[in-house]
Amino acid sequence: LKSSEDTPSFTVKSYACQRRTPLKHHNTFLTEALEILAENAEFGENEGRSVAFRRSASVLKALPYAVRQMDDLKNLPCLGEHSQRVIKEILEDGSSREVESTRQSAQFQAMKALTGVFGVGVRSADRGFREGLLCPSDLIRTGQKLNKAQQAGVQYYDDLNRPVTKQEALAISQIVERAVNSVLPGSIITLTGGFRRGKEVGHDVDFLITHEEEGVEEGLMPKLVNWLDEQGFLLYQKTTRNSYLESKDGPARPPNNMDRFERCFSIFKLGQCSEDSSAVLETGSDDSGTTDNVNGTTRQQPGSSWRAVRVDLVVSPFSQFAFATLGWTGSKLFERELRRWAGQEKGMSLSSHALYDSKQQRYLRANSEEEIFAHLGLEFIPPCERNS
Ligand code: GTP
Ligand code: MN
Ligand code: MN
């Protein structure tokens, strides 16, 4: 036996997509701290720094033991000098001064509160903070110009910051299934995002929709959105092309049918879920006393019979379905690492649409996630172990 009992020896591969990362792990007290620093770096738009902290945290999530001393970190990849310094301080003193002062700083707290509003990104939050805004209600109090998304974000702030449960996700699934089957029978609907990775709660519910008959999914999103809206299920929606389409030098661009790939950011109105998980669905045609008009915005009252839930809908042509499934399952770091692996180790370019092999100068087809991992020379990692 090489390692003694108090210094576990465990090899960890350096790319997150090469290793299994369960949802529950043994080093939460360290990963939460590192992720505060990652988040703070994101608020400062320092992407390199934020990714470095996220990678360090992710390595600790993959360990089958709790780190107790610096020796436990021997031979682990991705742990930069700064992360190690933070970890050392936490192991020795119980907390890190840098992490605690970040957590308590007015700027971090304001950025967290302001970016917590749907539609408010890091840029606008930062502008707001520099103008003296500290919390979502300051957005209204100071009469900030808000776009439609931000107005909805303020209006449904409390609901949207309350975690969505698995039960609520399943109730939303039933609605989406009904809607999709009314506008395009035979469609395939997959729950993606955090819930596919086995999370018990989420900040939203993500769906990917396709149809075996290539091409019939064209125009599905507007029909779907119309149906949902007519039935009173939508509090807000914005349909856009997938963001990948906009970046010219982004990852692999499939030769055609790119313009069919659509996504819809929405806010659903979900009737109260009963204990037995069967949703009691309400339609929005009659707001019988459950809402109250405040300052021109409709605010929900406590004890209301419905809640607002963020829902993401994506429609993909069948030929891209495996890539879309992989791309929308996450975690965000797992996705980023997959693309980095493809580019740096394989000379390939991976997106939610396709996989391009630069050496062979051709697109590699795949009908399942398993085939994509195989093309990439990676061991298949099931969704519940992609919680990097
Ligand atoms: P919670 O929603 O917080 O529970 O976690 P989540 O992992 O579901 O996060 P989220 O809903 O934000 O994202 C789900 C997946 O969709 C992640 O893998 C993201 O990388 C991916 N995703 C989010 N936005 C985009 C986008 O604009 N384009 C593509 N292709 N993928 C995206
Ligand atoms: Mn999600
Ligand atoms: Mn989402």
Superfamily designation of domain 156-388: Beta Polymerase, domain 2 (3.30.460.10)
Does the CB atom of residue 206 touch ligand 1 within 6 A? yes
- The CA 287 to ligand 1 mean position distance, Å, reads 32
Domain 16-102 has CATH 1.10.150.110: yes
What are the residues facing 49 on neighbouring strands?
none
Q: Best mutation site among 54, 206, 207, 335 for ligand 1, i.e. most ligand atoms within 8 A of its Cβ?
A: 206
Q: Best mutation site among 191, 268, 328 for ligand 1, i.e. most ligand atoms within 8 A of its Cβ?
A: 328
Per-residue pLDDT, 101: 98
Instruction: Classify residue 302 by its DSSP letter.
Output: T
Per-residue pLDDT, 8: 61
The number of residues making up the chain comes to: 388
Domain with CATH 3.30.460.10 in the chain: 156-388
Does the CB atom of residue 383 touch ligand 1 within 6 A? no
- The CA 288 to ligand 2 mean position distance, Å, reads 31
Per-residue pLDDT, 77: 97
Domain with CATH 1.10.150.110 in the chain: 16-102
Residue 53 one-letter amino acid: F
Closest CA to 387 of 13, 27, 8, 25: 25
Does the CB atom of residue 242 touch ligand 1 within 6 A? yes
Domain with CATH 1.10.150.20 in the chain: 109-151
- The CA 206 to ligand 2 mean position distance, Å, reads 5
- The CA 193 to ligand 2 mean position distance, Å, reads 4
Does the CB atom of residue 126 touch ligand 1 within 6 A? no
Per-residue pLDDT, 248: 40
- The CA 156 to ligand 1 mean position distance, Å, reads 21
Q: Whose CA is nearest to atom 17 of ligand 1?
A: 330
Does the CB atom of residue 42 touch ligand 1 within 6 A? no
Per-residue pLDDT for the chain (388 aa), expressed as one digit of tens each? 444 555 567 899 999 999 999 999 999 999 999 999 999 999 999 999 999 999 999 999 999 999 999 999 999 999 999 999 999 999 999 999 999 999 999 999 999 999 999 999 999 999 999 999 999 999 999 999 999 999 999 999 999 999 999 999 999 999 999 999 999 999 999 999 999 999 999 999 999 999 999 999 999 999 999 999 999 999 999 998 765 543 444 445 544 444 556 899 999 999 986 544 444 444 444 444 334 333 444 556 677 899 999 999 999 999 999 999 999 999 999 999 999 999 999 999 999 999 999 999 999 999 999 999 999 999 999 999 999 9
Supply the ipTM of this predicted assembly.
0.98
Per-residue pLDDT, 287: 43
Q: Which CATH class is domain 109-151?
A: mainly alpha
Counting ligands in written order, which one lies closest to the CA of residue 334?
1
Report CA Rg, the chain.
22
Helices marked H in the chain:
28-43, 47-61, 81-93, 97-104, 106-115, 122-130, 136-141, 148-155, 157-160, 166-183, 193-196, 220-230, 321-329, 332-346, 369-375
Taking residue 184's Cβ as centre, other Cβ atoms within 10 Å add up to 18
Q: Catalytic residues, which ones?
A: 204, 206, 312
Q: Whose CA is nearest to atom 7 of ligand 1?
A: 194
Alpha-carbon dihedral 5, 3, 380, 252, rounded to 10 degrees = 120
Closest CA to 167 of 320, 292, 277: 277
